[in-house]
Amino acid sequence: MKTFVVTLCLIVFPHTCVKLPPNFIKCNRHEPNFEECLIKAVNYDIAQMYKPHKKVRLPGVEPLELVSMSSNVDTNLIKLTERLKNCQFHGVSKGRFRTFVFDFQRRVISANANLPFVESSCDYKLNGTILGVALKGEGPSWLDFTSFNMSFYVTYDEVVKNNKTYVKIATCKVDGKPEKLHFRIDNLFDGDEEAGRRVNDIVNENWSVLYDDIKNEYLDIPGGMLATILKGFFSRVSLEELFD
C-alpha cells in the first residue's frame, strides 16, 4: 500500500465568475465540428500556459511546480519511504492533445496527449530497497522522460450557481508509459559515489520493469496535479462561459 500527499502551488483568488481570457479559443458545443475545435483550443491553450492566467486560476506550467510529495511505496520490486520537495517540471506546455472528448451527457472528459520531452528536478529523501538493493540518501535528483503518451479520464458533477453551470471534478485518472525514462539521484549513501552510481545504473537499466511495477501508484501524481489545475479553472469558469 502507498499513501501520498501532493501539494501544488496555486494562487487563490476570491470566488467570482470570470470570462475566458481573450487569447483562449471558444468552441460552440452545438456545432458539428465541436470536437475538432476543442482539440485546436486545448492545444492552443496549453501552449499559452507557459505563463499563469490568474483570473481563471490556471498556474503557469513552465515550470510546473510540485511543492512536496510523501509516499510509502510497497510493490513487488520497490519498498520505499520517500519525500520529494521543490519539484519543477519543464516541457509540459509542449504537450499536444491527439484526442479530447467532452461528454456532457455522461459528464466525462477523456483525452490523449503526447509529451515530447519533460525534464524534472526534485529534492529527495528516501530509504528502502529497489530490486532487492538497499538504498538511502538525501539530496538533489533529476528525472527526464521522452515521448510520453498519456490518457486522461476525468469524471465530474454539475453544480448550478447564479444560474450558471459549474463543473465539479469528481475523479481524475491518468495512464500511459513514456518511450524512455532517465533518472539521476545524487548524494545517495551520504555521497558514496561508487555505491550511488551502482543504484543509478540498476534503476536506469531496469526502468521499464520498475515503471510497470509502480505506475498505478505514481500516475496518481500527475492525476492529482491535473485534478488540482482543473478544479481551479472550473471553479472560476462556467460551462456557459467556456462554450457557446
Ligand X SMILES: *[C@@H]1O[C@H](CO)[C@@H](O)[C@H](O)[C@H]1NC(C)=O
| List of residues contacting ligand X (CB under 6 A) | 79-81, 114, 127-128, 131, 147, 149, 163, 179, 202, 205-206, 209
Rounded to the nearest 10°, the torsion over CA 123, 125, 131, 132 is 160
Decide whether 21 or 176 has the Cβ nearer to ligand X. 176
Q: Which is nearer to ligand X, 108 or 202 (CB)?
A: 202
Q: Got the DSSP string for 10-37? A: ---------PPPTTS--B-TTSTTHHHH
Which triple of cell numbers denotes residue 128?
A: 528502502
Minimum distance of ligand X from residue 240's CB (angstroms):
8
Name the minimum Å distance from CB 54 to ligand X. Answer: 28
CB atoms within 10 A of CB 124: 21
Nearest approach in angstroms of CB 209 to ligand X is 5
Q: Which is nearer to ligand X, 63 or 97 (CB)?
A: 97
Kindly report the number of other CB atoms within 10 A of residue 55's CB atom: 14
Q: To the nearest whole angstrom, how small is the minimum distance from the Cβ of residue 114 to ligand X?
A: 6
Residue nearest to ligand X (CB): 128
**Among 151, 1, 24, which Cα is nearest to 75's?**
1
Q: Closer to ligand X at the Cβ: 2 or 55?
A: 2
Which of 75, 206 has the CB closer to ligand X?
206
Q: Are 124 and 84 in contact (CB under 8 A)?
A: yes
